[in-house]
Amino acid sequence: MKRKLDIKSMVLGALLGAVIVFSVGAATGGSRTVWEYKVVRGNIKGNDDAGALDKYINNAIAGGWDFVSASPLGDISGFAVLKRERK
Are residues 70 and 80 in contact, defined by beta-carbon separation less than 8 angstroms? yes
Q: How far apart are CA 71 and CA 57, in angstroms?
A: 13
By C-alpha distance, which of 14, 11, 78, 1 is closest to 43?
78
Q: How far apart are CA 50 and CA 81, in angstroms?
A: 19
Q: How does pLDDT run across 3-20, given as a tens digit for each residue? A: 665 666 666 666 666 667
Taking 80 as the threshold, does the pLDDT of residue 30 lie above it? Answer: no
Q: How does pLDDT run across 53-84, given as a tens digit for each residue? A: 888 899 999 999 999 999 988 888 889 999 99
* Structure confidence at residue 76 (pLDDT): 85
Residues in the chain: 87
* Structure confidence at residue 50 (pLDDT): 66
